[in-house]
Structure 1
Amino acid sequence: MDHRAVPRLAAPAVAVLLALAALASGCTGATVQGRPGASGLRDPYFPRAGNGGYQVEHYALDLDYDPADGELRGTAVLTARAEQGLSSFNLDLSGLKVDAVRVEGVAARYNRTGNELTVRPAEDLKKGEVFRTEVEYHGRPKPVVDPDGSEEGWITTDDGAVAVGEPVGSMGWFPGNHHPSDKATYDVTLTVPEGYEAVSNGELASRTGVGEGRTAFAWRSREPMASYLVTAAVGPFKVTTGSTPSGVAVYNAVSPEEEAGSAAALAKTSEIVEWGSGRFGPYPFGTVGAIVMPSETLGYALETQTKPVYSGAPDETLVLHELAHQWFGNSVSPKSWKDMWLNEGFATYAEWLWAEDHGGVSAQRRFEAFLAGDTSVDPGADGDWAAFPPADPPGADHISDEPVYVRGAMVLHRIRQEVGDEKFFDLLRGWAADHRHGNASTADFTAYAQRRTGHDLKRVWDVWLYGEGRPKAP
């Protein structure tokens, strides 16, 4: 300790110094001011998707829809945790009119700019605080158009509607933090006219008549879910229920005109779940099923969590693909949209494995066929699968292109060739188990694969995952 004399300071100067020291240590009695949360998470392909400063833990969506007039009325209650002090925060919402916003039960100021709803609570939120935001809204939802020209969001039909969200369409029917990195649990209640069925993710908690010829369907998703995987479907569906041998509840809702064409493929659901549980580890959810819309509704299927949506009757391969996503894409979700190959490459390779395990073409033979362009083995073998590296699509309009699917699957087969079957299938099961109900990036996977298998896979990454041009046979 230094005992040298210290010059005396006047009382006002001492007070100032003490105040500055208190500010520096965060020990003042004054309220620490929050700052605005970021509008957008700077995703490589969708920079305005999602929002910064908080993470949503739970959504409670209470929706009222009448197919006769197309009007959607909703109340969304978001329970979130502040990751910083917040003076304001944003929600993603497209088109619909906001009627009221409350934070912790107190009316909040808000304004709209494009697809951003900015909320200003009456009092700043503290870092770590769990808070509830309630948004009342209504309107006739309009589809959200993707960069590749496809439509998503709330899609109407002649006698109902279906909500699909990949990549950002969920903002077309409920306000939220719409980026896959922010997963939450959900309760979705759909109130519709009698004679209609209303379906969402998870389990049906209740079905209740609410008067005036309307019925409320309450659905509950206990496992975390990315918002693009949330669905809501209204229609005169034919509903069938059951369970798999391991006890997973099955719930299928099929448009009457698609019932006959869907029967054979949907009958494979239990078998696929049991097979996937053997190959990839335990099925990650408590329920499974399907929503089959009329064939003209969409130009694609989507792996909405627990109940994939099909536009028209699916075949066995499509059902297999969408159910494989329940492990890869839904339970293990991408950290950003640049990581799409972790969804689609894995689900495509699951198709190859299913065929191999059921007396069809082996994965090795299919891999060779794509290298050779041999359409006698696979009709898509002469496609543009090598147009770009699967881990680096050239833009948002290419994240669902063929290289993400096929070359992504070929990356997995190259790992299998390098490490052998025992280590490869251990890798698949370990990846699904260790990242269950979480998010992961391509960098996470490459590091995990090398650590789990004990092999140096740098050449696979350099040539097949990130390399330009058409790779040569190994």
Structure 2
Amino acid sequence: MSLLSALFTGTANAEATPGAPGVGDPLYKWAGNGGYTVDHYDIDLRYQPATDELTGRTTIRASTTQDLSQFDLDFALKVTSVQVNGAPATFGPHPENQTELVVTPSTPVAAHQQMVVVVEYADVPSQVRLDGVQVWYHTETGAIATGQPRLCRAWYPCNDHPSDKATYAVSATVPNGNTVVSNGALVSRTQPVPGWTTWRWKAEEPMVSYLAFIALGRFELDAGVTQRGLQYYNAYDPALGTSLPTAKSTIERTPEIADFLSTQFGPYPFSSIGGVATNAWGSAIEHQTRPVYGNQFWQDKDPSVVVAHEVAHQWFGDSVSLQDWTNMWLNEGFATYAEWLWTEREGGATVAELADAFYARYSEEDTFWDLVLWPGTRLFQPAVYERGAMTLQALRTEVGDLAFFRILKGYHQKFQGGQTTTAGFLEFAEQISGRQLDSLFKTWLVDPAKPPVGPNGTVAANGSALSEVAELSKLHSRLAAQSR
């Protein structure tokens, strides 16, 4: 045994056992992995845009939670080698799931030790489907990896579950003239060999695996510092054509929107900000510090609404993440409520009017009301967005404005950088408001029926906001189509 291996393996005993091939998420059997948590990912890629060929070396620093004889990584690309603590390991796909990589270290790894795993791989990622869904898109000039709920398996090996956050360093070497965009801050841009440029990004705030992303190609990168001192990075795909000016002018409002939402939710939680516009995809997603916007939004009446939605996720979904996927309304309901706050701020219908109009939009017989939000079983349905936001307005009506915004700000402050559940949010809301809220949450999140009164406490029939509700509903349909 090498000295490095001895230092890391510690005193793993003969009873070392395999880590579970999933963390037990109620919706996704294979999501995440047991036996360890990840502290840091160091991803080093080389990409050829012309052929979509990707080679990579990902170094994972993890902490073991048991004596490990074997463990899994979530990964779908072709692996060429794996090392654990400096020693070669055996590896292969799980017999029941080809996107589950089973790794057997040469020596068991003791519990409560740091474990360093190095995975080398090479493949054409656009040919890979995850649960039947494409998340790596090969474009005319490069590629972009985006989508949810399970994304990282298409470009780096990971512990793919929202309950496990880690820091990231992402490097990618591409032919000169191409741009690489990822999360966090751009650390350096160098030319290691003639004809190739290496871009290095670092995300120092812990991040969930599906929020990590990469875009490679002929993107136009605009970088600078906001008035409040945040580093910003905006990237635009020239293939957007006539939509490009609108995409630019809208994404450039990101700091303004973040400043407004800071007055509602508390300080912006990260050290950088920005957005990416792509022509390769039609939806939008809240990748941490760098939301990605597809090509379907720039003809909308007010495209800044989708930016408000994705920026709101920086607080709720990114900074405060989910313990498991059954709590998805906490992400989408909060982001939809931010749309309503932004619409009111921009001179449109008030939040109360929008909540009433959404309530009136769906009759008692509409299947919209059949979907239970907690525990949720379907992540991307209009009800997750709209009934989730109506739940927050019902809470606001119940506790009053002062307590409501204390709840929103305090909830983020308490769980910032970690994970939570609906039960955790309910308990916190009761603590701040001094009210018993079980019945309200049951009516709005659990009961598969239209509540007898609207989110403002009346039988709502307000038609003044119906045109804006129609636009927002179209937005939610596009967002809900991002993955399955």
Q: State the TM-score, normalized to the length of structure 2.
A: 0.86
* Alignment deviations for residues 277-305 of structure 1 (CA, whole Å, 9 cap, x no partner): 111111111111111111xx223111111
Say whether the 8 Å CA contact 2:167–2:205 is kept in structure 1: yes
- In structure 2, the CA distance between the partners of 1:156 and 1:112, relative to structure 1 (3 Å rule), is same
Say whether the 8 Å CA contact 2:236–2:277 is kept in structure 1: yes
* Whole-angstrom distance in 2 between the partners of 1:289 and 1:59: 22
Cα offset, 1:444, TM superposition: 1.2
Aligned structure 1 segments of 4 or more residues deviating by more than 6 angstroms: none
Aligned to 1:417: 397
Cα offset, 1:164, TM superposition: 1.5
Cα offset, 1:243, TM superposition: 2.4
* Superposed counterparts of 1:224-263, under 5 Å: 224-258=206-240, 259-263=244-248
- In structure 2, the CA distance between the partners of 1:164 and 1:320, relative to structure 1 (3 Å rule), is same
Structure 2 residue matching 1:245: 3-state secondary structure: coil
Aligned to 2:93: 112
* Alignment deviations for residues 361-414 of structure 1 (CA, whole Å, 9 cap, x no partner): 111111111122299xxxxxx986423122244x4xx31101110000011001
Aligned to 2:110: 126
* Whole-angstrom distance in 2 between the partners of 1:44 and 1:93: 20
Between structure 1 and structure 2, the one with the greater Rg is: 1
2:311 to 309, 315, 323: 323
* Whole-angstrom distance in 2 between the partners of 1:189 and 1:276: 32
2:50 to 52, 68, 79: 68
Say whether the 8 Å CA contact 1:204–1:219 is kept in structure 2: yes
Aligned to 1:88: 70
Moved more, 134-143 or 423-432: 134-143
- In structure 2, the CA distance between the partners of 1:192 and 1:355, relative to structure 1 (3 Å rule), is same
Aligned to 2:331: 343
* Whole-angstrom distance in 2 between the partners of 1:154 and 1:414: 39
* Superposed counterparts of 1:374-385, under 5 Å: 385=368
2:267 to 282, 287, 298: 282
Aligned to 1:452: 432
Aligned to 1:140: 124
1:264 to 249, 253, 270: 249
Say whether the 8 Å CA contact 1:201–1:230 is kept in structure 2: yes
Aligned to 2:19: 37
* Alignment deviations for residues 312-352 of structure 1 (CA, whole Å, 9 cap, x no partner): 26420011100100000000011111111110000000011
Aligned to 1:8: none
Which amino acid is the alignment partner of residue 55 of structure 1? T
Cα offset, 1:263, TM superposition: 2.3
- In structure 2, the CA distance between the partners of 1:267 and 1:30, relative to structure 1 (3 Å rule), is closer
Which amino acid is the alignment partner of residue 71 of structure 1? E
Cα offset, 1:170, TM superposition: 1.3
- In structure 2, the CA distance between the partners of 1:342 and 1:264, relative to structure 1 (3 Å rule), is same
* Whole-angstrom distance in 2 between the partners of 1:77 and 1:267: 35
* Alignment deviations for residues 129-185 of structure 1 (CA, whole Å, 9 cap, x no partner): 0110000001111466566x7x34321112110011411121111111101111100
* Whole-angstrom distance in 1 between the partners of 2:144 and 2:330: 26
Say whether the 8 Å CA contact 2:236–2:248 is kept in structure 1: no
- In structure 2, the CA distance between the partners of 1:334 and 1:188, relative to structure 1 (3 Å rule), is same
- In structure 2, the CA distance between the partners of 1:371 and 1:165, relative to structure 1 (3 Å rule), is closer
Structure 2 residue matching 1:462: 3-state secondary structure: helix
1:308 to 291, 294, 307: 291
* Whole-angstrom distance in 1 between the partners of 2:162 and 2:179: 28
Cα offset, 1:267, TM superposition: 2.4
Say whether the 8 Å CA contact 1:334–1:440 is kept in structure 2: yes
In structure 1, runs of 5+ residues without a counterpart are 1-28, 376-381
Aligned to 2:476: none
Structure 1 residue matching 2:451: 3-state secondary structure: coil
* Whole-angstrom distance in 2 between the partners of 1:32 and 1:274: 56
* Whole-angstrom distance in 2 between the partners of 1:184 and 1:32: 30
* Superposed counterparts of 1:40-59, under 5 Å: 40-59=22-41
Structure 1 residue matching 2:197: 3-state secondary structure: strand
Q: State the TM-score, normalized to the length of structure 1.
A: 0.88
Say whether the 8 Å CA contact 2:282–2:293 is kept in structure 1: no
Aligned-pair identity (%) = 41
Structure 2 residue matching 1:386: 3-state secondary structure: helix
In structure 2, runs of 5+ residues without a counterpart are 1-10, 458-484
Say whether the 8 Å CA contact 1:292–1:309 is kept in structure 2: yes
Aligned to 2:465: none
